[in-house]
Amino acid sequence: MTCIFCKIIDGSIPSKKIFENHELIAFHDAHPVDKVHFLITPKKHIENLIACSEIDKDIISNMLLLAPKLAKELGLKGFRTMINSGVEGGQEVFHMHFHVYGGGSKLVKI
Ligand code: 5GP
Ligand code: ZN
For the entire predicted model, the pTM comes to 0.96
Q: What is the secondary structure of the chain as a DSSP string?
A: ---HHHHHHHTSS---EEEE-SSEEEEE-SS-SSSEEEEEEESS----GGG--GGGHHHHHHHHHHHHHHHHHTT-SS-EEE---SGGGT--SSS--EEEEE-SS-----
Q: Choosing from 22, 28, 31, 97, which is the catalytic residue?
A: 97
Q: Tens digit of pLDDT for each residue in 52-108?
A: 999 999 999 999 999 999 999 999 999 999 999 999 999 999 999 999 999 987 666
Q: Tens digit of pLDDT for each residue in 6-23?
A: 999 999 999 999 999 999
Question: What domains does the chain contain, in order, with CATH numbers?
Answer: 4-102 (3.30.428.10)
Active site residue 31: no
In short, whether 90's Cβ falls inside 6 Å of ligand 1 is yes
